[in-house]
Each structure stands twice: as C-alpha cells, then as structure tokens.
C-alpha cells in the first residue's frame, strides 16, 4: 500500500516537471502620501515614501541543506531567498543563481524545492536546467523545514525604495529616520537620523534633499503634516 502511494506521488511530481515556471512577483510603484494633503501618522510610521521595485514572494530554509546524488551536488544556505513560482497549479521555490553542479560535465542549474503536502517542509527537488534525470522531481532524503517570506527584492538591480519614518518628539525637536533601499531591498543600503526644532508658533517647514514637509503639530504619539514636495520619481 505504501509503495503504491509513493509511486502515485512520484508520477504526479514528474508530470509537472516540464511545465513552465511562472513568476509570482508583483510590481510596486508609487509615492505616499499625496502631495499637499494633511496627513496624520503615529510614532514608528512611514510619513513619506517613494518606491519602484518588484515584491517577491518566497521562502528561506530553517537550516543550510545539501544533496549529493550521482555526481549532481547542490547546497542552499539558510539565508538564501528562494523565489516562489507557479508551475502546473503548484507553488515551488527556486534559487536565483545556479547551485547544482554536475561533476565533469560543466552543467549547472538553479534548484527548485516543493512542499507537496503543505506541511511546512520541502520534500522534493528538481533542477530546471540540469540533466534529464534531475529535471523531474526527486525525493529528498529528509524533509527541509522552511519559512515563507515576502521580500522586497529585485533581480537584475535598479529597484529602489526611499522612506522617512517618524521617531517622536523630544524637547521640541522632531526626530525622523531616512532610509534608502536598493537592489535586493532586504535591508537599508543607507540610513540617516534627522532632527528638526519646531517653531514656537504656527507650522514648521522642514526639508531634506528635495523633500519639503510642513509640520502642523507633533508629540510623542503622532505627527500631523503635509508633504509639499517629494523626491523625483525614476524608473526601476
């Protein structure tokens, strides 16, 4: 009985091996909030942002994993982002770079992993650009636990996200944090703390690079403001 179940599962996996991989990435392009609109945000919130990138849905392994089967070897580090793709109605997760190497042949390929029963562990793998025996799905010797991850990332470079965060008020000084994300967008490529003293009466206008903001009121819980000019948009 168990052997029959295994054979049926293997046939189902093999049937989707030749299906094309469809990316699940979503384009993210915009600027917020609208210019000259009075807005209220809390401490820790983004008060201004401009962005142009692709948001990738994916996963990361809990631990580094490897396989060595008939001269075909691959290793996937736990920090490596595995991008999600759809193939024949199934979601699979693939490395962005070739990680499989076939000894003596010069063949390299990315590796895709699949969780066939949705239990939070990958149980099979294939190599889309590998030798024929590895283009079909291969059972892993042991299941690989993973965590799903929605990562702001780009492939090929060019994506960006710039943002200002409100950090609160201290001794009538407003604290902001400016952050720039570029390329992989997984962590800030640059960030800078900014401080501005509020005027004793009336609104206070502040500027940073091309950004101009009029602050109507601020305290340690929230800020009420409007963005007068933002950063110039550019294509990713």
Do residues 48 and 227 lie in contact, with contact meaning Cβ atoms separated by under 8 Å? yes
What pLDDT score does 153 carry? Answer: 64
* Count of CB atoms situated within 10 Å of the CB of 119: 10
Residue 8: which residues within 8 A CB-CB, separation 6 or more?
none
Ranges of the chain whose pLDDT falls below 50: 1-18, 235-236
pTM of the model: 0.64
Token readout for 112 is: 């895709």
Helix (H), strand (E), coil (C) string for 133-150: HHHCCEEEEEEEEEEEEE
pLDDT tens for each residue of 36-78: 999 999 999 999 999 988 887 889 999 999 998 888 899 999 9
Structural domain boundaries in the chain:
2-23+57-153, 28-54+155-229
What pLDDT score does 27 carry? Answer: 84
What pLDDT score does 110 carry? Answer: 94
d(CA 103, CA 128) in angstroms, rounded, equals 17
* Count of CB atoms situated within 10 Å of the CB of 66: 10
Do residues 16 and 123 lie in contact, with contact meaning Cβ atoms separated by under 8 Å? no
Question: What element of type H or E holds 8?
Answer: helix 2-15
Q: How many CA atoms lie within 13 A of 36 on its CB side?
A: 0
């Amino acid at each position: 009985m168990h052997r029959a179940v295994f054979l049926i599962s293997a046939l189902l996996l093999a049937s989707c091996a030749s299906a094309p991989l469809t990316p699940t990435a979503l384009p993210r392009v915009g600027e917020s909030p609208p210019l000259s609109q009075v807005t209220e945000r809390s401490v820790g919130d983004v008060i201004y942002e401009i962005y142009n990138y692709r948001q990738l849905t994916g996963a990361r392994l809990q631990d580094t994993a490897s396989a060595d089967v008939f001269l075909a070897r691959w290793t996937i580090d736990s920090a490596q982002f595995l991008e999600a793709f759809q193939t024949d109605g199934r979601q699979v997760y693939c490395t962005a770079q070739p990680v499989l190497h076939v000894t003596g042949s010069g063949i390299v390929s990315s590796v895709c992993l699949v969780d066939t029963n949705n239990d939070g562990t990958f149980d099979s793998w294939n190599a889309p650009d590998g030798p024929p025996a590895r283009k079909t799905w291969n059972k892993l010797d042991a299941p690989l636990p993973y965590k799903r991850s929605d990562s702001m990332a780009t492939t090929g470079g060019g994506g960006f996200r710039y943002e200002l965060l409100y950090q609160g008020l201290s001794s009538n000084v407003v604290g902001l944090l400016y952050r720039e994300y570029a390329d992989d967008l997984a962590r800030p490529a640059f960030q800078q703390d900014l401080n501005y003293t509020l005027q004793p009466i009336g609104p206070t206008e502040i500027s940073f690079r091309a950004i101009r903001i009029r602050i109507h009121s601020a305290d340690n819980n929230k800020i009420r403001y409007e963005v007068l000019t933002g950063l110039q948009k550019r294509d990713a």
